[in-house]
């Protein structure tokens, strides 16, 4: 059986059973919004009581909230009946006042972030499910016993609001007969070069000294693994991190966290090199789902042929010499990467195309990873992932 390798690395509406009785003393029942998949009349899940947030965590949570798209910020304000107009500074002050008066909580902020961040800028790995029978995984009672055995029972169909844990921690395990979704959170720190704070001085001996400034940055990193138990397929989402972070290492860190109760070595990574070739071929015939901005192939001898369009808004294909070269290398070479825009007017039966505009997607075939470099919404992410998976077979 093909195993999970590092580096390497949808659907129906999710309906959840009531929280386990053992959780009722530690949970408050809330309206369920799991990444937008459930509506107000669906089953509710529990919210576990979080540890007290520090002042730094509170500040970062508000910073993350106000870094979202304007439409998302307005949605948050609308849900909590707050005035939606004003500058970000005014909105921040308004939210802080609502928290101080107990009309809003930081757990509400965390809940909203956990709803929208999984569908924002991110990197995704696709997987094939285990070849062995998975019947037990359809049974919530069996899953509950498994999680309890490994001290994860409290997370089943419940959510723990986490801000910036220094070690990666599971925040929820959502399950029903058709799907398992595990989410984890971790604080990520890095230093970002900023010339604005550079300065110059001299030593006591008169030698010149150049001081180069780096600003300390913090982000709340979200990782989510979703296993479709009906199709027996899965994907891993990692919210976008600054340059320098290794997504394969983040994936490995997550899988080690849940390894005691979910054997991820039984999942096989989906090879993303074939979809690059297939999408290129379709585009050549005029029936493409994408408009290529850049394609990179590697020859059997290890040489690379890369072509880019004049700009992100221009098509790559259309120059006879470049088209011929790319087509020739595609026949014998290996796909390395594709930088494309998914088209909104393409019809891909039987799945309706939910895109209302072009969607930027980068397939890194050499690492079997998909990058969505711009914020999106759940239906569009799921649609594009399903199409890439379709072209991988």
CA-CA-CA-CA torsion for 112, 60, 362, 9, nearest 10 degrees?
-80
The total domain count for the chain is 3
User: Which of the four pLDDT bands, split at 50, 70 and 90, describes residue 136?
Assistant: very high
Confidence class of residue 44 from pLDDT cuts 50, 70 and 90?
low
> 262 and 145, same structural domain?
yes
Domain boundary among 235, 253, 269: 269
- Buried/exposed code over 155-187 (b: 16+ C-beta within 10 A; e: otherwise): bbbbbbbbbbbeebebbbbbbbebbbbbbbbbb
Q: Quote the pLDDT of residue 1.
A: 36
Question: What whole-number percentage of the chain has pLDDT above 90?
Answer: 85
| Within a domain: 11 | no
CB atoms within 10 A of CB 1: 9
> Is residue 6 assigned to a domain?
no
In the chain, count of helices (H) and strands (E)? 9, 16
Q: Which domain holds residue 298?
A: 273-390
- Is residue 343 situated within a structural domain? yes
Instruction: For residue 28, give every residue at least 6 positions away whose Cβ sits within 8 Å of its Cβ, in sequence order, or none.
Output: 46, 47, 49
Interstrand relation of 158-159 and 199-202 (parallel, antiparallel or unpaired): unpaired
Instruction: Show which of 225, 245, 269 is a domain's final residue.
Output: 269
- Concatenating the DSSP letter of every residue in 266-322 gives GSEEPP-HHHHHHHHHHHHHT--SEEEEEEEEE-TTS-EEEEE-SSTTS-S---HHH
- Specify the pairing of strand 233-239 against strand 45-48: unpaired
For the stretch 171-214, pLDDT in tens is: 999 999 999 999 999 999 999 999 999 999 999 999 999 999 99
**pTM assigned to the model:** 0.86
User: Average pLDDT, stretch 321-343?
Assistant: 96
Widest CA span in the chain: 76
Average pLDDT on 118-129 reads 97
187 and 307 assigned to the same domain: no
């Amino acid at each position: 059986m093909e195993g999970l390798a590092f580096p390497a690395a949808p659907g129906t509406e999710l309906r959840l059973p009531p929280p386990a009785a053992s959780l009722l003393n530690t949970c408050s029942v809330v309206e369920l919004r799991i990444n937008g998949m459930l509506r107000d009349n669906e089953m509710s899940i529990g919210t576990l009581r979080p540890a007290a947030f520090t002042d730094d965590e509170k500040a970062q949570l508000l910073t993350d909230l106000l870094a979202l798209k304007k439409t998302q910020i307005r949605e948050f304000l609308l849900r909590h009946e707050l005035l939606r107009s004003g500058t970000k500074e005014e909105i921040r002050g308004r939210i802080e006042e609502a928290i101080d008066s107990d009309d809003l909580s930081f757990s509400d902020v965390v809940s909203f972030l956990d709803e929208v961040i999984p569908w924002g800028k991110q990197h995704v790995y696709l997987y094939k499910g285990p070849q062995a029978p998975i019947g037990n995984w359809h049974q919530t009672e069996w899953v509950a016993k498994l999680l309890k055995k490994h001290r994860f029972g409290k997370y089943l169909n419940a959510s723990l609001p986490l801000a910036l844990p220094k070690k990666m921690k599971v925040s929820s395990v959502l399950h029903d007969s058709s799907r398992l979704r595990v989410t984890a959170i971790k604080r990520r720190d890095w230093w970002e070069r900023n010339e604005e704070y550079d300065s110059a001085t001299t030593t006591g001996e008169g030698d010149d000294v150049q001081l180069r400034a780096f600003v300390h940055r913090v982000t709340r990193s979200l990782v989510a693994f979703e296993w479709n138990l009906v199709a027996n397929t899965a994907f891993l989402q990692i919210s976008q991190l600054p340059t320098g972070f290794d997504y394969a290492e983040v994936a490995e860190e997550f899988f080690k966290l849940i390894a005691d109760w979910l054997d991820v070595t039984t999942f096989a990574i989906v090879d993303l090199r074939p979809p690059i070739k297939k999408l290129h071929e379709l585009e050549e015939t005029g029936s493409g789902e994408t408009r290529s901005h850049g394609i990179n192939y590697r020859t059997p001898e290890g040489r690379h042929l890369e072509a880019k369009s004049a700009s992100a808004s221009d098509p790559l294909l259309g120059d006879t010499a470049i088209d011929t070269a790319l087509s020739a290398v595609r026949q014998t070479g290996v796909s390395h990467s594709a930088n494309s825009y998914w088209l909104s007017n393409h019809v891909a039966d039987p799945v309706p195309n939910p895109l209302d505009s072009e969607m930027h997607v980068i397939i890194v075939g050499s690492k079997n990873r998909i990058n969505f470099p711009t914020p999106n919404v759940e239906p569009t992410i799921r649609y594009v992932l399903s199409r890439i998976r379709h072209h991988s077979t």
